[in-house]
Amino acid sequence: MLRRIAAREFLERVRDGRLYWAGGLILALLLTALAVGFAHQRAAQAEQKAAQAMDYQDWLHQDHRHPHDAAHQGMHAFKPEPALSILDPGINPYIGSTIWLQAHRQSEVKFNPAQDATGLQRFGNLSVGWILQVLGPLLIIVLGFNAFAGEREQGILRQTLSLGVEPLRLLGGKALALAGCAGALLLPAALVAGAALAVVAEPGERADTLLRFAFLGLGYAAYLGIWIFVVLGVSAASRTSRVAITVLLALWIAQAVMAPRILSEASRLAHPSATRLAFNQALAADLKATSDRVWLQNFGTTERWGADVPLRQWGIALRLDDQASYPVYDRHFARLWDTWEQQQRLQEWSGLVVPVLSMRAFSMGLAGTDFAHHRDFAVAAEQHRRHIQDLMSADLVKHADPLGDQHFAYQASPELWASVPPFHYHKPRLGWALGRQALSLAVLCLGLVLAAAFAAAAVRRQSAL
């Protein structure tokens, strides 16, 4: 029976042209977004690899020079573009992908693509994620708003129920039909996406990428499932299809268009982050106090350029300063990044009433384009920077000038440069990403259960009389 109801509903959507028109538009957009994402990812990945390799070669081919100067010039860490960014670029267009690993300070990422974009960037980027999150629910609404209400207006619903068809079975059949319609559109796109991912994924990461893709598919299935039940529930609870479409469109606009901005502002009010000036001032003050303490402990003075600490001791001084600064940077950046994560968590919780927010977090998280992945990369890059600093300082300590008043005259040989390994970033695996997205996944699943319960309650109230 379930299958027959679903088949009939599906056929109806095909016959009235809605599936062709609305679905065709979505499919065309999806394929365009896939093509754009694919081309962008390939170009960015190739460029990143070439730049990273060239950067290291430049490092290795430095002449004889002072190690601290080499450390000052440092290296760059280029964030690899994950394969799944062809589906959801997430925060990447807004955060940049290059970190300069220089002496003394922990750098932030430079060069976000949004700084080179026009005002239209504010309308969003065409991506599979955006289409599914924003236009996906609209497609479900267009396909299903009159599933119950329309039949009631025509009197078919009463007839069907009087035949003894279980209301819940009717709901199941209609839900299955809507899922079938969405599946008929999304499966071809998913196959194309799967093939594209298999091509762009690094050989060692192919299995992880495809597994992430599978989970991403499940997440979107849950998200669209929520909308299927909400649409059917509202359609069943509405007197006419006009009321149903009005309520559903209002819901969609509030959810997909307005809520992300409102909750983004609200989360910022709940967990305010520091201004640039305040952050820099607090960091500088903490660094200065820490450095003074270390100098006092080790040299009995805080005077940097006095006779108490001759230049031959500057290797030790640099090492002490650097190593004392690491926990300070960790503390300040962790505080800032934790604030951002708290803001995001608040939005993920809001997913209970605004599913798009949980979906967005889950989608970025699985695609490897969320802040957690970015933070992991930034931490790895910072560790590499510290490794370079430590190696350079150790060499300076080892080659401290025996004459006592020279420091910069020393020039290290290229063997020292070769002792620094290239920066290899190992992207986190699926388990790590899922662990971080447990909340949004749980909220999505709970949302699905609640939506199904709402639809069941609305449909149960239908009677043949």
Partner 1 sequence: MTTHAPRRARFAMIALQEFRLLGREPALWMVGLLFLALVVYATVNGLAQTAARHAAQAAVQQADQSTRSAQRALLLRMLAGTDAPKPFENPANPAVMASSYGGSHALLPGIALAPVALGQSDLFPSQFKVTHQSRVVFMNPSDIESPWHLLSGHFDLAFVLIYVLPLLIFALSYNLLSGERESGTLRLLLSQPLHLRTLVAGKLAARAVALLLPSVVVPACVLLLARWWMGEPAGGGAGLLWWAALVGAYALFWFALVVAVNAFGASSATNAMVLVIAWVLLVLVVPVLLNLGVTTASPAPSRTELATRTRVVTAEAMSKHADLMSTDYQHVGRGALLLPKDGKIEIAGRALGNYRIQRDVDAAIQPDLDRFDRQSARQQALVARFAILSPAAVAYEGMTGLAGTGGRRHARFAEQTTQFHRQWKDFFFPRIDARAALSAEDFDAIPRFAWREEPPSVVRRHALVAVVQLLLPGLLLLLLATLRLRRFSVA
Q: Which is nearer to partner 1, 57 or 463 (CB)?
A: 57
List CB contacts of 336: < 8 A, sequence separation 6 or more. 273, 274, 279
- Residue 118 Cβ vs partner 1, minimum distance, rounded to whole Å: 5
Give the type of residue at 418.
Answer: A
Q: Which is nearer to partner 1, 77 or 458 (CB)?
A: 77
Interacting residue with partner 1 among 188, 300, 306, 327 (CB under 8 A): 306
The answer to whether 47 contacts partner 1 (rule: CB under 8 A) is yes
The answer to whether 298 contacts partner 1 (rule: CB under 8 A) is no
List CB contacts of 373: < 8 A, sequence separation 6 or more. 82, 365, 427, 428, 433
The answer to whether 16 contacts partner 1 (rule: CB under 8 A) is no
Find the binding residues for partner 1 in span 187-226 (CB under 8 A).
none
Identify whether the C-beta of residue 397 lies closer than 8 Å to the C-beta of residue 307. Answer: no
- Residue 165 Cβ vs partner 1, minimum distance, rounded to whole Å: 27
Q: Which is nearer to partner 1, 135 or 176 (CB)?
A: 135
Find the binding residues for partner 1 in span 131-150 (CB under 8 A).
134-135, 138
List CB contacts of 259: < 8 A, sequence separation 6 or more. 350, 354, 356, 357
- Residue 155 Cβ vs partner 1, minimum distance, rounded to whole Å: 18
Phi-psi region of 272 (alpha: psi -120 to 50; beta: other; left: phi over 0): beta
The answer to whether 430 contacts partner 1 (rule: CB under 8 A) is no
From 107-115, 196-204, 423-431, 435-443, span contacting partner 1 (CB under 8 A): 107-115
The answer to whether 321 contacts partner 1 (rule: CB under 8 A) is no
- Residue 135 Cβ vs partner 1, minimum distance, rounded to whole Å: 7
The answer to whether 340 contacts partner 1 (rule: CB under 8 A) is yes
- Residue 461 Cβ vs partner 1, minimum distance, rounded to whole Å: 23
Q: Which is nearer to partner 1, 51 or 294 (CB)?
A: 51
What does the alpha-carbon distance between residue 374 and residue 49 come to, in Å, rounded to a whole number? 17
From 8-16, 127-135, 429-437, 440-448, span contacting partner 1 (CB under 8 A): 127-135
Strands 98-101 and 109-110: antiparallel
- Residue 104 Cβ vs partner 1, minimum distance, rounded to whole Å: 12
Q: What is the 3-state secondary structure (H, E, C) of 125-185?
A: CCCHHHHHHHHHHHHHHHHHCCCCHHHHHHCHHHHHHHCCCCHHHHHHHHHHHHHHHHHHH
The answer to whether 126 contacts partner 1 (rule: CB under 8 A) is yes
- Residue 414 Cβ vs partner 1, minimum distance, rounded to whole Å: 13
Interacting residue with partner 1 among 55, 151, 205, 382 (CB under 8 A): 55
List CB contacts of 258: < 8 A, sequence separation 6 or more. none
Interacting residue with partner 1 among 154, 297, 383, 406 (CB under 8 A): 406
Q: What is the dihedral of CA 46, 51, 54, 59, to 10 degrees?
A: -150
Q: Which is nearer to partner 1, 5 or 86 (CB)?
A: 86
Q: Which is nearer to partner 1, 147 or 171 (CB)?
A: 147
- Residue 117 Cβ vs partner 1, minimum distance, rounded to whole Å: 7
- 59: nearest Cα among 41, 46, 48, 72: 72
Interacting residue with partner 1 among 2, 7, 12, 62 (CB under 8 A): 62
Interacting residue with partner 1 among 13, 66, 212, 373 (CB under 8 A): 66
Cα angle for residues 185, 187, 192 (degrees, 5° grid): 110
Lookup result for tokens 């081309």? 39
The answer to whether 307 contacts partner 1 (rule: CB under 8 A) is yes
Find the binding residues for partner 1 in span 246-275 (CB under 8 A).
246, 249, 253, 257-258, 260-265, 268, 273-275
List CB contacts of 263: < 8 A, sequence separation 6 or more. 346, 347, 350, 354, 357
The answer to whether 331 contacts partner 1 (rule: CB under 8 A) is no
List CB contacts of 265: < 8 A, sequence separation 6 or more. none
Using CB atoms within 10 Å of the CB of residue 191, give its burial: 0 to 12 exposed, 13 to 18 middle, 19+ buried: exposed
From 42-50, 156-164, 283-291, 384-392, span contacting partner 1 (CB under 8 A): 42-50
- Residue 401 Cβ vs partner 1, minimum distance, rounded to whole Å: 9
Q: Which residues pair with 412 in a beta bridge?
A: 65
Find the binding residues for partner 1 in span 432-461 (CB under 8 A).
none
List CB contacts of 133: < 8 A, sequence separation 6 or more. 223, 256, 356, 359, 360, 363
Cα angle for residues 62, 63, 68 (degrees, 5° grid): 75
From 193-201, 207-215, 335-343, 441-449, span contacting partner 1 (CB under 8 A): 335-343
**DSSP tally for the chain: helices H, then strands E:** 20, 3
